[in-house]
Structure 1
Amino acid sequence: MVEQHAPHLDTVFHALGDATRRQMLRDLSRGERSVSQLAEPFAISLAAASKHIKVLEQAGMIRREVRGRTHLCRLDPGPLASAHEWLAAYERFWTDRLDALDRLLREEDARAPKPPKNPEGDGHE
């Protein structure tokens, strides 16, 4: 299991904590994008987009390559896998809890007295 207090996870979750950066990651999941393409859906400057990209780079979630005057970004999903692994422990916890609740409710239903059947059989009075 991934260490709970790993500084790298802190950086990943910080990067994921912003809706603009999450959308940039979704866009990058469909392929390489330039900084201007990543900034386009938002009402932000290229400088602001670049700051978001730097946060994603520091988290190791994207790689930037300079081709001439164009900065191209590519998704690196490795850190997302680490975050997913950390969250999976909590998914197991909640699944176990919900399964236990389901069992309790089924046992309670099984113990509850059954309502008498309508002798006429149509379910209406």
Structure 2
Amino acid sequence: MIETDEDRADALFHALADRTRRDILRRVLAGDHSISTLAANYPMSFAAVQKHVAVLERAGLLTKRRQGREALASGDVAVLRSAGRLLGELEEIWRGRVARIDDLLNQLKE
């Protein structure tokens, strides 16, 4: 079980690091898909797609629910927004460093 914000971030970025998982996420964000429908889109076994879905689910990027005999996957935009906020925070730190370098260079010119 994911406990801290850092653990959540690790799980999130690990899940997004794989192109197949990013593609699965795009599909489920556009609408609910059964795991078997998802599996039909990739040149890998059903079990391999299930593993990718499990990684996305552990990261909170998608949820599964039963509908009859099928498991349907749905994407969670809120989790992506939290990733965007985290990246925004990191960007602000980076921009602050660049601004300090600019200040130092300007001081050297004077």
| Short-chain TM bin | 0.7 to 0.9
Please give the alpha-carbon distance, in whole angstroms, between the structure 1 residues aligned to 2:54 and 2:96: 38
Measure, in 2, the Cα distance between the counterparts of 1:5 and 1:76: 17
- Contact map agreement 2:21 2:52 (CA 8 A) in 1: yes
The alpha-carbon deviation at position 66 of structure 1 amounts to 1.1
**TM-score of the superposition, structure 2-length normalised?**
0.77
Unaligned runs of 5+ in 1: 109-125
Deviating above 3 A after TM superposition, structure 1's stretches of 4 or more consecutive aligned residues are 93-104
Matched residue of 2:30: which SS? coil
Letter in 2 for 1:68: G
C-alpha separation in 2, matches of 1:92 and 1:40: 41
Structure 1 residue 90 displacement after superposition: 2.6
Cross-structure match for 1:81: 81
Is the 2:31–2:74 contact (alpha carbons within 8 Å) kept by the matching residues of 1? yes
Structure 1 position 80, deviation (Å): 1.5
Contact 1:31 1:74 (C-alpha < 8 Å) held by counterparts = yes
Distance 1:41-1:102 versus aligned 2 partners, 3 A rule: farther
Q: 1:39-54 maps to which residues of 2 (within 5 A)?
A: 39-54=39-54
Equivalents in 2 of 1:101, 1:31: separation in Å? 45
**Are 1:9 and 1:82, in contact at CA under 8 Å, matched by a contact in 2?**
no
Matched residues, percent identical? 38
SS at match of 2:64: strand
Q: CA RMSD in A?
A: 2.4
* Alignment gaps of 5+ in structure 2: none
Q: Which structure shows the bigger proportion of residues in helix conformation?
A: 2
| CA drift at 1:93 | 3.9
Match of residue 112 from structure 1: none
| Greater C-alpha radius of gyration | 1
Aligned residues: 104
Q: Do residues 33 (structure 1) and 28 (structure 2) align?
A: no
